[in-house]
Structure 1
């Protein structure tokens, strides 16, 4: 709840507005006696685990390793000679020797022999893959291409953007075709936040070899500049003629629009186009209708390929907000193929743009491309095609298959780390064990996670199946005996509440955010105090947020409050639960006409909240089926969002 938007003054003001609400809520009813189940969940190891002095030292070692404190890790590791997880002790001792205090790889490390010994001893494990990732960063920084090329193919996860850039550097140095390498680079260089030094070196090298144009390099630098990475911007593309316009658009896009309208003729056609694209992006993020105008000017000039990933995506959103389907179509057609293919949103909205043009057959073909996906856009596509959003047939696994999972090394190690509240390490071990599993094995692993009450692993594991599914595992309902009477008291839709909890905490009872939200429903302390007072919960203190029943009671009542305050819109209320009611209202007030809920959700300015709202609503549809056997309409739940001043006669 409001995890990244801890603006207490706004929250207090909003909560003050809610005092006018009249809600019939009562003290929570005691949970009903739990029904007997065919397979009783075992007690979670987290509830029975007792921390030892060695465990506490191990956690200290892990924290010191995260800071790359060489001296501290050496001392702590030496005191853990007989600790059960000797590979982690060794890793935490070696890793700080590979990086400086800022987390940058050290080319001058003398730990190569230790790394090789580790890789040989623990080959095939999750931690060895992590160590290889670290060492490859060192080898790339050192420009030791022969060793890099030997080790890189062994890196199983291959999820590090910097390493992809180093791999392209190595190929370039070996004389591979720079034009081909530049094509590969375009699929990698999408988000400057992950470029590191490796990608900043690659781009000028490709320009020097003739594989990439100076304009493309400046475009990548501009993408960094849009995020405020000005040093990176210059390293990638050199001095940019519109760098000051980028700064101005970041600070005040409305003023930048006005100023550039007067000054545009001073710039080349290319620079005019990219400047309008940057201004359009920042106007769109402010939900300013002039974004459509800016992007139209850019579209008329061309150079779509020189817009950043953000610029290309917000061009679509600006068109959606303005109901400018021609701009939506042109924006998607002009996208970098790697950008277009990474998110089903663009396939769905392209189909809608084609339909708006009357190209119904082509629209149907594009809808079919995403209709088999079980996400927000897959659900929308199925409804557009006249298909049901009912979950697929359930594939069951037998007890024997489930019990075999109990002996899997990665699961056992993961459970121990979860019990120590080391979720990062636990997830690494658990997810590594899932690699190469069949769908039935994944379902057995999910059932095993359910039996030991690791509900986030239930969801994570069941979500991976491709052909055989069990949506009762993808969308589990733990704590149903506790939540059902709470929701019933205030007439809160139980499927929606579960959809929200699945997104908020993945049912991790002790989940906490960086700004203090806690528990299953991620209740903020100030919100907890307000809601407790509002519903007459006496003797409330914030330490009680860890109590499951209290957390569910406060979170459910708060969700119901914002729902009432926002005219019963699940879209607005879900956004309010994540980002705060004042923001949800402000986004609504920016509307110039009634807007379908899917477009409103797609154009929410905050990435976290945009993703959150889509996932919560999509979750709720499947929860309705899992719990009640009901097939509900996502479009109906999304509804139409009207400006606050809109009259009923204005509705479509």
Structure 2
């Protein structure tokens, strides 16, 4: 059942079906008899309160009687109580009880987690019969090792068993304790050859698991153990080891260690690595030599070093793959060698050459090398796209932007039917209770099996619920790439106006940043600890809070949308001020830190903005800046109907035009209107 939670604001560019739906459902609910409506709402509130009390008690591993759980049998989240009750007693429960739950709730995400936990316990207890019934391969090394132990208990050991065990053993990290009995049998039967042990040592060194490599070396024959000591010494001081290796470089393992030393040195000193490669060239296998040459050239290209372009073209054909071809194109672009860029693009595989990025730069290069008509035709086609490069192409030709908005129109009855399905009901309840991780899991489990038409309905349902991150991701899954109301919503309008106004921010840029950082998920937490709508790092939040005299109780406060927007907006203003109001540099600083941006400015001075962005060293930051610029255009259009040109944003630079970081957005002079291709 859809429950009205109060009036919702919407923008002037919101699609009409959403407006109708928002108005219609509250009216339908109000048509219910007042007593029935009140009873329904009161019963829901009572069930939610009871659920939370029991859920938290079970989370504390308290004993809860079956009768109390049974009282909520009809509540959509009853399986979550039963799950916690079973999980607390998995060690002692009989097989039938757990299997009954797994069968009854097979489509629930929590069934997967209970089964995993149960399999771990069955493995530890050696209860192999139920383990074999419920085990699925590929769910982790521990369960895979238990599965081999279960097979051994039933039918012994055959060649397939041994091969699977060897695959689990030959990895570059320590395996779980569950694997110890499996590996013990391999040792007992002397199935770990010195060559296979060396393979695992190589894998451990690749993963920089030096302790594991040292441990594995003990099992090598005595005359082979010194090789691992040499390798570990090389890792500590590659350049010193290259000067005085102290081992036979002609030996295959000596060659491998020397190659590793050169590769390690290449991470920080490309000319030095080239020097030592030349010194050892005659003593290395040609294939190894070519591979190291490629590694050094690519690392120089990643750092945008001048010599990288020459080194890339000096590579033997045997190691010229799509990565090398791609970086030849990038380095020609960085050098502004437009003729060389055209040749490099022509050598790219079609799947790369036809991407928007390279279509734009091919058109750019054609215009600047005397083939203006061909270049402008290419840019004209690209200008039909709603993308960063499509907007750049449109600016180069003075064309209007193509937004291609095609928002779907769902019937309220269709959405109501979808919302009534068990998976969506559970997702809605979990979200209402603040159990957001489980809510997203339920939503995902409910959406994945649907046909695309139903997924499109689900995206609209999420938007109606103001669950914007689910609406965005579900719209993408459903292929609704042109449904701009779904993919670029404008939530929190009052707060955005308030904090954008207080910090003199462009609201479209603020929306673009939230869309990129969290997809409007207030509870988002990144792997590195950034939190909330604007993904503010706790250390940054504390510093900004002190400067603006904002009380901050702790990192968890950043999950409050109001606090996060206040601090995130203030920090965005700070980086804008630091870089003279330029959104490109501010966006790069917000993502990678101001000091890195200052370094990139020093290394790439006097470049047009579009080219400077392409030369940002970090791929994540490069894509981040492009996304923010393109998203800001879309949000500007959604908010005002008249978006600012992306080139205007690129050259923005405070009150003093002479202080603008970028004088040009790109190097293309717009042609006379008469020769502009029409869309």
- Contact 1:594/1:643 (CA < 8 Å) preserved in 2? no
| Counterpart residue number, 1:611 | 623
- Contact 1:273/1:297 (CA < 8 Å) preserved in 2? no
Question: How far off is 1:481 after superposition?
Answer: 0.7
For residue 289 of structure 1, the aligned residue among 306, 311, 324 is 306
Please state if 1:405 is matched with 2:418: yes
Alpha carbons of structure 1 residues 510 and 387: separation in structure 2 relative to 1, 3 Å: same
- Contact 1:602/1:610 (CA < 8 Å) preserved in 2? yes
- Contact 2:263/2:296 (CA < 8 Å) preserved in 1? yes
- Contact 2:652/2:660 (CA < 8 Å) preserved in 1? no
- Contact 2:366/2:374 (CA < 8 Å) preserved in 1? yes
Q: Over the residues paired in the alignment, what is the CA RMSD in angstroms?
A: 5.4
For residue 247 of structure 1, the aligned residue among 218, 241, 264 is 264
Alpha carbons of structure 1 residues 376 and 73: separation in structure 2 relative to 1, 3 Å: farther
Alpha carbons of structure 1 residues 510 and 281: separation in structure 2 relative to 1, 3 Å: same
For residue 574 of structure 1, the aligned residue among 567, 572, 587 is 587
Report SS of the residue matched to 2:267: helix
- 1:22-79 deviations in Å (ceiling 9; x for gaps): xxxxxxxxxxx9789761799999x97853545886899x9xxxxxxx9996668978
For residue 537 of structure 2, the aligned residue among 514, 524, 528 is 524
Question: How far off is 1:313 after superposition?
Answer: 4.1
Report SS of the residue matched to 1:391: coil
Q: Distance in 2 between matches of 1:564 and 1:574?
A: 12
For residue 630 of structure 1, the aligned residue among 642, 646, 655 is 642
Question: How far off is 1:400 after superposition?
Answer: 2.9
Question: How far off is 1:505 after superposition?
Answer: 1.3
- Contact 1:503/1:616 (CA < 8 Å) preserved in 2? yes
| Counterpart residue number, 1:92 | 113
For residue 589 of structure 1, the aligned residue among 594, 602, 608 is 602
- Contact 2:447/2:455 (CA < 8 Å) preserved in 1? no
- Asked which structure has the greater CA Rg, the reply is 2
Instruction: Within 5 Å, give how 1:99-498 maps onto structure 2.
Output: 111-114=131-134, 242-260=259-277, 274-298=291-315, 301-303=316-318, 305-306=320-321, 309=323, 311-335=324-348, 340=352, 344-359=356-371, 363=375, 373-384=385-396, 387-397=399-409, 398-416=411-429, 418=431, 421=435, 423=437, 426-427=440-441, 429-430=443-444, 433=447, 437-438=451-452, 441-464=454-477, 466=479, 469-498=482-511
Q: Distance in 1 between matches of 2:92 and 2:382?
A: 54
Question: How far off is 1:487 after superposition?
Answer: 0.7
- 1:437-489 deviations in Å (ceiling 9; x for gaps): 456x5554323112222110122223356578431221111111111022112
| Counterpart residue number, 1:541 | 553
For residue 568 of structure 2, the aligned residue among 538, 546, 555 is 555
Q: Distance in 2 between matches of 1:85 and 1:227?
A: 40
Q: Distance in 1 between matches of 2:480 and 2:105?
A: 36
- 1:210-230 deviations in Å (ceiling 9; x for gaps): xxxxxxxxxxxx999999799
Q: Distance in 1 between matches of 2:120 and 2:52?
A: 30
Alpha carbons of structure 1 residues 289 and 334: separation in structure 2 relative to 1, 3 Å: same
- Contact 2:384/2:401 (CA < 8 Å) preserved in 1? no
| Counterpart residue number, 1:21 | none
Q: Distance in 2 between matches of 1:444 and 1:390?
A: 25
Alpha carbons of structure 1 residues 596 and 135: separation in structure 2 relative to 1, 3 Å: same
Structure 2 unaligned residues grouped into runs of 5+: 1-7, 12-18, 27-40, 62-78, 80-86, 122-127, 149-170, 173-201, 214-251, 668-679
| Counterpart residue number, 1:174 | none
Report SS of the residue matched to 2:418: helix
Q: Distance in 1 between matches of 2:343 and 2:57?
A: 57
- Contact 2:382/2:390 (CA < 8 Å) preserved in 1? yes
Structure 1 unaligned residues grouped into runs of 5+: 1-32, 63-69, 101-107, 116-130, 144-191, 194-221, 232-236
- 1:559-606 deviations in Å (ceiling 9; x for gaps): 011011012221111111112111121222211x42233333333222
TM-score with structure 1 setting the length: 0.62
Q: Distance in 1 between matches of 2:392 and 2:525?
A: 32
Alpha carbons of structure 1 residues 35 and 456: separation in structure 2 relative to 1, 3 Å: closer
Question: How far off is 1:330 after superposition?
Answer: 4.6
Alpha carbons of structure 1 residues 320 and 94: separation in structure 2 relative to 1, 3 Å: same
TM-score with structure 2 setting the length: 0.60
- Contact 2:385/2:403 (CA < 8 Å) preserved in 1? no
Q: Distance in 2 between matches of 1:246 and 1:371?
A: 43
- Contact 2:427/2:438 (CA < 8 Å) preserved in 1? no
- Contact 1:249/1:256 (CA < 8 Å) preserved in 2? yes
Question: How far off is 1:411 after superposition?
Answer: 2.9
Question: How far off is 1:351 after superposition?
Answer: 4.3
Question: How far off is 1:392 after superposition?
Answer: 1.9
